Structure 1
C-alpha cells in the first residue's frame, strides 16, 4: 500500500505547498465549528456573566467611593463650621475674661483704696486720741509744775486745788492764744 500511495502522489504532479488538500479544509472547518459552538454556548455566557459581575462590583465601589467623598466633604464643612464657632467662642471667652479681670482689678483697687482710707482714718483717730490724751496729761503735769513754780516764786504753797486749777487753765489759755496769734 505504501507503493500505491507513492504512485498516486506521483501521478498528481507537483502540488502547491501553500494550498491545503480538500479533506484538510473539511476537517479543519468541522473542528472550527465545534470549537465555535462550545465557545458560544459555554465559554461566552460565563465570560459575559463574569464581566457583568466585575462591572457591577466596580460601579458599586465607585458609588461607595462617591458617597464616602460626599460624606467626607460634608464632614469637612461641618468641621470647618465648628472650628469657626469654637474660635469665635474662644474669642468671646477671652474678651469676657479680660473684662472680668479688669473688674476684679478695679474692685481690688477700690477695696484697697477703701481699706487704706479706713486705716488712715483709724490712724488719724488714734493719733487724735493720743494727742488729746497727751494734751490732758501734759496739761496736768504743766499745771502741777506751774503751781510748784508759782509757789516757789511767791513763797507760798498753792494747795487750793480749785484756785490752782483756775490759774493753770488761765495760763494755758493765754499760752494757746499766743500760739494762735503767731500762726
Structure 2
C-alpha cells in the first residue's frame, strides 16, 4: 500500500507540477518552431517576390538595351547614307568641275591651234602659190577655207 500511495503521490506531483511545465515548454517550442516556419515562409515569399522583381527589371533592361542597340544601328545607317550621299555629291561636283576645266582647256587649245594652223597655212600657201598672202582679207578667206577643208576631211 505504501507503494501505491507513493505511486499516487508521484503521479499527483508529476501531473500538478512537472507535466504542466513540460506542456508549457513543449507548447513554447511548438510556437517557436511554427513561428520560425512562418517567418521562413514569409522570408521565402519575400525572396520570391524580389526575384520576380529582379527578373522583371532584367527583362526591361534587356528590352531597353535591344532598343538602344537598334536605335544606334538605325542612326549609324542614317549617318552612313548621309556620308555616302555627300561623297557622291562631292564626287559629281569634282567630275563636273573637271569636265568643265577640260572643256575650257580644249577650247583654249583649239583656239590657239587654229591661230597657229592659220598662220602656218598662210605661210605654207604663200610658198606654194608663190605669192604673198599678207593681205588680211585674203589671209582670212584662205585660212577659213583651209580649216573648213580640214574639218570636213577629219569628219569623213
Give the structure-2-normalised TM-score.
0.77
Could you say which residue in structure 2 is the equivalent of 1:81? 56
Distance 1:38 1:168, change over 3 A: farther
C-alpha separation between the residues in 2 aligned to 1:68 and 1:83?
A: 22
Larger RCO: 1 or 2 (CA < 8 Å, sep 6+): 2
CA deviations 1:124-168 (Å, max 9, x no partner) are 0121122112112212221221122122123345456x5576346
Give the structure-1-normalised TM-score.
0.67
Distance 1:164 1:130, change over 3 A: farther
Could you say which residue in structure 2 is the equivalent of 1:174? 148
Query: Could you tell me how far 1:121 is from its partner in structure 2?
Result: 0.2
C-alpha separation between the residues in 1 aligned to 2:42 and 2:146?
A: 108
C-alpha separation between the residues in 1 aligned to 2:138 and 2:7?
A: 163
- Gaps of at least 5 residues in structure 1 are 1-25
Pairwise CA RMSD: 2.9
Contact 1:147 1:164 in 2 (8 A): no
> Rg bigger for which structure?
1
Match of 1:64 among 39, 47, 53: 39
Match of 2:116 among 141, 154, 159: 141
Match of 2:20 among 45, 57, 71: 45
- The structure with the largest helix share of the pair is 2
Could you say which residue in structure 2 is the equivalent of 1:10? none
Aligned 1:1-183 pairs, distance under 5 A: 26-159=1-134, 162-163=136-137, 166-167=140-141, 170-171=144-145, 174-175=148-149, 178=152, 182=155
Contact 2:126 2:132 in 1 (8 A): yes
Distance 1:30 1:172, change over 3 A: farther
Aligned length: 156
